[in-house]
A = this chain, B = another copy of it.
Amino acid sequence: MAVNSRFAIAIHILTMLDADNQSPKTSDDLAGSVNTNPVFIRRIMGGLRKAGLVDSQPGVGGGAYLARSPEQINLLEVYKAVEEEQLFSLHTHQPNQYCPCGSNIQPVLQGVFGKAESALEQSLAETTLAQIKQAVFSRAKQPK
Q: Which of B11, B16, B88, B92 contacts A7 (CB 8 A)?
A: B88
Contacts of A39 in B (CB 8 A): none
Residue of B nearest to A141 (CB): B100
Cα distance A94–B33 in the bound complex, in angstroms: 10
Q: Which of B12, B95, B107, B116 contacts A33 (CB 8 A)?
A: B95
Size of the A side of the interface (Cβ < 8 Å), in residues, is 61
Q: Judge if A57 is at the interface, Cβ distance under 8 Å.
A: no
Cα distance A139–B115 in the bound complex, in angstroms: 19
- B35 and A2 form a contact (CB under 8 A): no
Please encode chain A, from 53 to 85, with 1 for each CB lying within 8 Å of some chain B CB and 0 for all others: 000000000000000000000010000000101
- B120 and A33 form a contact (CB under 8 A): no
Q: A101-B15, A101-B19, A140-B100 known; A124 and B112 CB under 8 Å?
A: yes
Q: How far is the CB of A127 from chain B (nearest CB, A)?
A: 5
- A2 and B3 form a contact (CB under 8 A): yes
Q: Judge if A36 is at the interface, Cβ distance under 8 Å.
A: yes
Q: How far is the CB of A32 from chain B (nearest CB, A)?
A: 6
Please encode chain A, from 2 to 30, with 1 for each CB lying within 8 Å of some chain B CB and 0 for all others: 11110111011001100100000000000
User: 6 closest pairs, A vs B, by CB?
Assistant: A1-B89, A119-B123, A100-B140, A116-B123, A120-B120, A104-B139
